[in-house]
Structure 1
Amino acid sequence: MRNLWLYTIFFSCVFVLNAQTPEEDIEKPKDSISSKTLLKQIGNGFFPTKLWNFDLRYLVKFNQYEGFRTGLGGVTNDSFSKNFRIDSYGVYGFRDHRFKYKIGGGYLLNKKAKGWLNVSYIDDLMETGSSDFLTDGRTFSFFEPRLLNISLFHKHITSAVSYEHEVNPKLITETEIAISNIRPTYDYNYVLDNIAYGSFETSIAKIAVQWNPFLEYETIDGKTETIVDGYPKFTLQYSKSFKNVLNADFNFSKLDFRTIHKVIHNKDSHTIGTLSLGLAHGDTPLTHLYHAYPNNINKETILNRFSVAGINSFETMFFNEFFSDRFATLVVKHYVKPFRFNNYFKPQLVLVTRYAVGNMNTISRHQNVSFGTLKSGYTESGFEINKLLLGFGLSFTYRYGAYHLPKEEDNIALKFTFNITL
């Protein structure tokens, strides 16, 4: 019940700021005094001022390692400069008592192709096993509930240079070269050639492509507006770590792919599926492998595990239960026509099925941590009833198949949902 009260208090504090706008394009915010424009910019995650637009993501967050995490950050707007921007933040974790920050900026090299050259220096935390796409910086979700439950992080100090390039609104690319010093916050060693690495250096080059072939748009006075946000959408990213380049310790490569497809049945009902694939090859530490998006807290009872459901996360899969060097996940959600009791109360039923499969070579290299693999295939299904009250709803998910647990209640996840669109 302690978790239930914590989540209730937390959401009451940040309800106005943490509206969810998944798969919505980020627009670089501009100065405006109109309430409509202001609301749109807040929906995109920014609160605009004359020269600086505050990024609302940094105001307040919560996770199991830092506790409450709060700070300020943002980016300069066109009133400051149309060709140069400063993009930085500073935050503080109240449980780990540590400041984190980013100092960054960019210069517009190609106005027509929105070609920005960016540099950054980051001292922060990253979730172990996470794998983000560079081009995801162009989509924005105010609130990812799964962040509340993450406990396994590694510290990283990263210097990076990147370049964004828009071939056209349907095809976006980004490349990055980054040098990182990585120190896990948990007891972990990666053993390679009889050397146990408790911390390590990486030098990684990445290239990512976001392709939305069915997007329909028009350009008026140099501004591009989306007419139809078509599906499917495709994202591909290749990463290469170079050993002995700027003191890097490991050689490995990663290939990540994601596609999102949406089938609209009518104006009130649709089905959306997300397929994710990942492959890591070479001497890859746990920090850079895959965890399949778990979202179940490692606690004894259902009520103690009561938290908030994520968007594409596995609600019955416990944190740090599985890791893979190659994996695939499929998440399918069917949105049923809302139940219209009146103009204000229109809850919506969502049917959900998730599947994950994966495996790992050389498990013995990862010491002081224990985990399983997904070689037998992991399955869970359930439903959500969204928008019951102020955007809150409930979800029920059941774990079955090869990884069904002996204790029946451990196969059940009962959680809040939170869905608001500005």
Structure 2
Amino acid sequence: MKQLCVWFFLLTLSMQAQFHISGTVRASATNMPLGYATITSAQGNHSVTDVDGRFDLVTKTPLTNLKISYLGYYTTSVTLTPETSYYTIYLDPKQSQSNAVLLAQTNPEIAIIQQTIANKPHNNPQKKLSSFEFTSYNKLIVSAPADSISSKIDSIFVDRAYGKKFSKLDSTNYKIKEMVSEHHLFQTEKVSRYQFANHTLKETILGTKMAGFKQPIYEILAFNLQSFSIYDSSYELFETKYNSPIADNAFKDYTYKILDTVAIGNRDSFMILFKNKKKSRTTGLEGVLYIDTKSFAITKAIMRIKGVIDISGTHEFDYIASEDLWFPIQKSFRIVKGQNDDDIKILGGTIQFDGDTPENFGTRKRAASDYSYLHSESSNFDITYNTPIPLKNIFIAVKLDPKALHQPEQFWEKYRKDSLDLRSQKTYLALDSIAIKKKIASRLRFGRKVINGYVPLRFLDMDLRKIVSYNNYEGFRLGFGGITNEQFSRYIQINGHVAYGTKDDTFKYNLGLATLLNRKSNSWIGIAYTDDVKEIASTVYAIEKKPFKLYDPRPINISTFYNYVGWSGSFETKLLPKTESALVVSSIEVSPLFKYLFKYNGTLYSKYTLTTAMLSMQWSPFSTYMQTPDGRIESEKRFPKFTFQFTKSLPNIAPDAFDFSKIEFKAEHEKKHLNGHKTNLLVEAGFASGAIPLTHLYNNSPNNITKKTIIQRITFASKNSFETMYFNEFFSSEYIYFQFKHSFNRVKIIPKVKPSLVLVSRMGWGDMQKPQQHIGLDYKNLTDGFFESGIELNQLFNGLGLTAFYRYGPNQLPKLEDNIAVKLSFVLKLGL
């Protein structure tokens, strides 16, 4: 859902205030910017410059004077005037550099960081305190400073052979300026109660308001923009984890420099700049740590990433004398546009920016989106600690109180740090009006459904997967299917589909009914009747929801199916912590639609009845969950994930039934690297024992058709299949499968050709117990293993790509070309 949400409030990203001062601090001798210089106003405002020496001060009272200091330079004072809002300030280096030389020789910053790391257990509230709780008020806005946006209406011309021709007037910037002059582009408020006990931090949302939405977007509420704790070994900033500058191994990634000593909370703090050792802008954090000179605790921290977008997170602390502890009282988060010509991915979505490479950034005409920003600020109060706190359901990271959506204005007046200014008040009125006029809620609902493969048709969500598909047995499969939605009932669901195969000239159908048992745990019980076909020896996990694809290439080449007709009963729940579970009991008549006989106890079966009980479970131990009035959702998907499935036949219930059992296992892991690369690991295994027909064993996911030449075998590549393994080449009653994928950043060859290189390696082993039971298909055994490796060049042109795989090892074929598979790939970017 994050993929959809990003388009509602990050389409474009100055604090609303009465007074705004900005500028740059530079060295007078070299004109180089001085990053992280200290800015202090006569009124007590305190800030630092960013890595490029820039600063912004936004206040509600006029500023009269600024004092700027930087280690090794003379402190300078600047008198401010009402008619000037931007200042370039130059600092003169001190003539005597003896102090700087001494610092370089003794490396005191290293000693300070070492002491900070050593004292983390004594300074970390989550280690020192047995428990604590506090209330937090958060406000998030997306806005832009109206006075920075041009209100000019431009003429747009198109190139013609005889010159340029007028096309239309572009009033985009004018409209945005008018809009942000009145209100923000997006705004949300939240009041939460945080509780910590038994090494667990839990958030309960007491109140929430989201401009334009009566029903808030849950994923936004649960999204963690920045780490709560500055002491964790990894610091998270906008969905990416970085090695912390005070991690135990921080010295391998960061360099440090003392900038100054400043007073925070009537105690002195070292002001230490940290920078990542690697030059790449994508490799890590930079910023400033304020460290108490006595306890070596963090008293303030500024964490920043500079690149395609500039992201900064600030943490502020207050000193609790009775506990000799600095406790977090405020944090802020900010995103502004950086300098780059690449697309960027945030919240799982893609945002496109114009070319802003260093050589043309200064000359390109700036659009309204260049000035936009996102700003979030949280304040903590009503802090108590070391008192008993009974926490329930500790695996739920965020809980939304049912009353949170309907809090009166008195509630907000009680918890807001400051009353809403006129611009913020207008934001709620304006966006609520726009949301009604533009039907934002219904469009968001529509988007949610489409992402999951459905189109809402009043009371029914039409299943897009059921409309049309193709395989070698049915030909074109045309159909209609869907499930009733919440407008029909929140407690009863009716689902089904009907399909017709143009090649086999047969109708298939399914009809099911389910009722809600418990909304809190998303528990449903249902029954269904089905007459349909399925690929032989394929593994389908009952708990996994099939992802929506506009096309699914692998089934196109499948020819061997079986027909199954019968009843099934199901029970689905999320009752167990961090799991989704399903129990399915079914009795079906199976008819193989290919030449096959199953031999059991001296009898040959051309069709048979299977009565089974199946337990399927997916466990996501590292994901975070949110409890909402509409049920439990996985608010933050994290890896690894584990899926288990156990099937046991019930031979005494139906005649001619077989006694068997099956167990399957899958583990998935995904790691996103700081340089933009991504590594995926997949492990699957299955084991079947007893009297089990070939239709319900394992085919090891082949995806290569039996044709003589490489060109004839060109089809579309699948995601996790063996691309060089031929259909029906191997079958197993027990198997194990490994897949490794590593994706690199897209490489620009020419403007419209930017392929993404992926390295892939797959291997698998298997065995077939009692092969004499299966008559009709010739197949091989995987005892010696199957190996293939290849490369994918995805998105070469308009989503189309090319892949090539090579088969090697014990099951390599005699002819070289038979071991090579060249496939097409297609990556569809919906911008979601």
Structure 2: how far apart are the matches of 1:412 and 1:191? 36
**Distance in 1 between the 2:691 and 2:515 partners?**
35
> In the aligned structure 1, how far is the partner of 2:566 from the partner of 2:440?
34
Partner of residue 58, structure 1: 466
Contact kept? 1:286, 1:366, Cα under 8 Å: yes
Instruction: Please give the secondary structure, in 2, of the residue aligned with 1:137.
Output: coil
Does structure 1 retain, via aligned residues, the 8 Å contact 2:472–2:559?
yes
Is the 8 Å Cα contact of residues 177 and 205 (structure 1) preserved in structure 2? yes
Structure number with higher helix proportion: 2
From 337, 340, 350, the counterpart of 2:745? 337
Q: SS at the partner of 1:336?
A: strand
| 2:452 equivalent in structure 1 | 44
The within-5 A match list for 1:169-184 is: 170-184=578-592
Q: CA, structure 1 residues 341+261, in 2 after alignment: closer, same or farther (shift >3 Å)? A: same
User: Would the aligned equivalents of 2:521 and 2:632 in 1 still touch at CA under 8 Å?
Assistant: no
Is the CA contact 2:522–2:631 (under 8 Å) kept in the aligned structure 1?
no
Alignment of 1:382-401 (within 5 A): 382-401=790-809
Letter in 1 for 2:790: G
1:181 Cα shift?
0.3
The AA in structure 2 aligned to 1:122 is T
Q: Structure 2 matches for 1:404-415, cutoff 5 A? A: 404-415=812-823
Note closer, same or farther for the CA distance 1:34–1:222 as it changes in structure 2 (3 Å cut): closer
Partners of 2:633 and 2:543 lie apart in 1 by 19
Contact 1:210–1:236 (CA under 8 A) maintained in structure 2:
yes
TM-score (norm 1): 0.89
Tell me the SS of whatever aligns to 1:147. helix
Tell me, in whole angstroms, the C-alpha distance in 2 between the residues paired with 1:52 and 1:166.
24
Inter-partner Cα distance in structure 2 for 1:161 and 1:179: 9
RMSD: 1.9
- The answer to whether the 8 A contact 1:32-1:38 is kept is no
- Cα displacement (A) at 1:247: 2.0
- Quote how far apart the aligned CAs of 1:125 are: 0.4
1:34: Cα distance to partner?
4.0
Alpha-carbon shift at residue 222 of structure 1 (Å): 4.3
Give per-residue Cα distances to partners, 1:214-243, cap 9 Å, x unaligned: 112333554555443110000001001122
2:776 pairs, out of 368, 390, 396, with 368
Match of 1:358 in 2: 766
Distance 1:141 1:134, change over 3 A: farther
Tell me the secondary structure at the aligned position of residue 337 of structure 1. strand
Larger radius of gyration: 2
Deviation at 1:341, TM superposition (A): 5.3
Please tell me whether the aligned partners of residues 88 and 102 of structure 1 are also in contact (alpha carbons under 8 angstroms): yes
**Aligned equivalents of 1:214 and 1:141: distance in 2?**
26
In the alignment, what sits opposite 1:120?
A: 528
Give the equivalent residue in structure 1 for 2:700: 292
Which residue of 646, 649, 655 maps to 1:238? 646
Choose 216-225 or 79-88, whichever is displaced more.
216-225
Residue 201 in 1 paired to residue 609 in 2? Answer: yes
**8 A contact 2:520–2:631 mirrored in 1:** no
Report the CA distance between 1:145 and its aligned residue: 1.6
Instruction: Specify every segment of 5 or more residues in structure 2 that has no aligned partner in the other structure, as ranges.
Output: 1-347, 349-438
Higher share in strand: 1
User: 2:537 is paired with a residue of what secondary structure?
Assistant: coil
Mapping for residues 150-165 of structure 1, pairs under 5 Å: 150-165=558-573
Q: 1:37 to 1:346 in 2, by over 3 A?
A: farther
**C-alpha displacement at 1:362, in angstroms?**
1.1
Q: Which amino acid aligns with 1:40?
A: R
Does the 8 A contact of 2:666 with 2:683 survive in 1?
A: yes
Identical residues among aligned pairs (%): 36
Contact map agreement 2:451 2:548 (CA 8 A) in 1: no
Give 2:557's match in structure 1, choosing from 144, 149, 169: 149
Q: Which runs of 5+ in 1 are unaligned?
A: 1-21, 23-30
1:188 to 596, 599, 605: 596
Q: Give the drift of 1:144.
A: 2.8
Is 1:105–2:513 an aligned residue pair? yes
**Residues 329, 372 of structure 1: alpha-carbon distance in 2 compared, 3 angstrom cutoff:** same
Match of 2:574, SS state, is: strand
Contact 2:519 2:631 in 1 (8 A): no
Distance (Å, rounded) in 1 between the aligned partners of 2:614 and 2:628? 33
CA 225–194 in structure 1, closer or farther in 2 if over 3 Å, else same:
closer
Structure with the bigger RCO (C-alpha within 8 Å, sep 6+) is: 1
Contact kept in structure 1, 2:527 and 2:569, CA below 8 Å: yes
Code of the residue aligned with 1:137 in structure 2: it is K
Contact residue 599 and residue 605 of structure 2 kept, 8 A: yes
The 1:292–1:249 alpha-carbon spacing in structure 2 relative to 1, beyond 3 Å, is same
Range moving further from structure 2, 73-82 or 39-48: 39-48
Contact 1:268 1:338 in 2 (8 A): no
Q: Distance in 1 between matches of 2:773 and 2:699?
A: 17
* CA distance, structure 2, for counterparts of residue 141 and residue 163 of structure 1: 26
Secondary structure of the residue aligned to 1:136 is coil
**Is 1:131 matched up with 2:539?**
yes
Equivalent residues, number:
393
